[in-house]
Amino acid sequence: MQDRLKGNFSQTMDVKGRMSFPQKLRDEIGDRFIVTKGIDGCLFVYSNENFEAICEKLRAIPMIRGRAIQRNIMSWAIEVEADKQGRILIPQNLREQAGLVKDVIVSGVFDRCEIWDKQRFDEMNASVDEEELMKALEGTEF
């Protein structure tokens, strides 16, 4: 399982929902991968291998507790493939879900990537203050 995905990459999405997916990240996850609804208003991107691991974890959650998250991740999931120019097509329903129009950020986060509307990404990062970060790191031996 990849856990070394890192970096933020600014990209532009065209009106048809096509965007270049960074070569550095494709080198790690491949040219075919899964895009699904994420958390906090972004899309999650997983290699097929990592998505299978996510599916196994979701299957292990009893339906009474896990049905909402199972439904949320699985019903939005779609496999995409980069074309010869390294572009992928984000379906309209996922673009709307994440508010993606033109300027986007692709961010590597351990075992997944996230696709964000650039303005939403900047606002989210600006909203996290140093005290909050320190509290989150408390007890982690960081």
HEC string of the chain? CCCCEEEEEEEEECCCCEEECCHHHHHHHCCEEEEEECCCCCEEEEEHHHHHHHHHHHHHCCHHHHHHHHHHHHCCCEEEECCCCCEEECCHHHHHHHCCCCEEEEEEEECEEEEEEHHHHHHHHHHCCHHHHHHHHCCCCC
* Number of CB atoms found within 10 A of residue 99's CB: 13
> What is the predicted pLDDT for the residue at 10?
94
> What is the predicted pLDDT for the residue at 134?
86
> What is the predicted pLDDT for the residue at 129?
81
| Tens place of pLDDT per residue across the chain (142 aa) | 456 678 899 999 999 999 999 999 999 999 999 999 999 999 999 999 999 999 999 999 998 998 998 998 999 999 999 999 999 999 999 999 999 999 999 999 989 999 999 999 999 888 888 888 888 888 777 6
Domains of the chain as residue ranges with CATH: 5-137 (3.40.1550.20)
